[in-house]
Amino acid sequence: MPSFEWSALSPNGEIVRGVAEAADRMAVVDRLQRQGQIVLRAEAAGGRRRIADLLHLELGSRRGLDRATVATITRELAIMLAAGQDLDRALRFVVEHVDNPRALTVLGEVRDKVRAGSSLTAALATQPRSFSRLYIGLVRAGEAGGTLPATLERLAELLERERRLTASLRASLVYPLVLVIAAVSSIFLLLDYVLPQFEPIFEQAGANLPAAARILMTVGGAVGSGFPWLVIATMIAVLGARRALAHPPLRLKVDGLLLRMPIIGRLLQETLAARFTRTLGSLLQNGMALIPSLAIVRDALGNTAAVAAIDTAALEAKAGRGLARPLREANLFPSRTIHLLQLGEESAQLSGMCLKASDIHEEQVRLIVQRLVALAVPLITITMGLAVAAIVATLITTMLSLNDLVG
Cα atoms found within 13 Å of the Cα of residue 371, Cβ hemisphere only: 10
Q: Which helix (DSSP H) or strand (DSSP E) does residue 8 occupy?
A: strand 3-9
The amino acid at residue 24 is D
Closest among 210, 192, 165, 182 to 71, alpha carbons compared: 165
Going from the C-alpha of 100 to that of each of 26, 50, 112, the distances in angstroms are 37, 30, 18
Q: Where in the chain is the domain with CATH 1.20.81.30?
A: 67-160
Closest among 76, 106, 100, 72 to 89, alpha carbons compared: 76
Closest among 262, 264, 267, 293 to 362, alpha carbons compared: 267
Using the Cα atoms of residue 9, residue 10, residue 13 and residue 17 in order, give the sign of their dihedral: negative
The Cα–Cα gap between 77 and 122 comes to: 17
The Cα–Cα gap between 127 and 314 comes to: 28
CATH of the domain spanning 67-160 = 1.20.81.30
Q: What is the pTM of this model?
A: 0.66
Closest among 266, 289, 278, 300 to 357, alpha carbons compared: 278
Q: Which helix (DSSP H) or strand (DSSP E) does residue 93 occupy?
A: helix 87-97
Q: Which helix (DSSP H) or strand (DSSP E) does residue 41 occupy?
A: strand 38-44
Written as tens digits, the pLDDT of the chain (407 aa) is 677 777 776 666 566 777 887 777 777 777 877 777 766 566 776 544 443 443 333 333 346 788 888 888 888 888 888 888 888 888 888 888 888 888 888 888 888 888 888 888 888 888 888 888 778 878 887 887 788 888 888 888 888 887 887 787 788 788 888 888 888 888 877 777 777 777 777 777 666 677 777 787 777 777 767 777 888 888 999 898 888 888 888 888 988 898 888 888 898 999 889 889 988 888 888 777 888 888 888 877 878 888 888 888 888 888 888 888 888 888 888 999 999 999 998 888 888 899 899 889 988 988 888 888 888 888 888 888 888 888 888 777 777 776 665 55
The Cα–Cα gap between 18 and 378 comes to: 59
The Cα–Cα gap between 28 and 5 comes to: 9
The Cα–Cα gap between 134 and 115 comes to: 24
CB contact set of 60 (below 8 Å; sequence gap of 6+): 129
CB contact set of 255 (below 8 Å; sequence gap of 6+): 303, 304, 305, 306
Task: Assess contact for 37 and 121: CB atoms under 8 A.
Answer: no
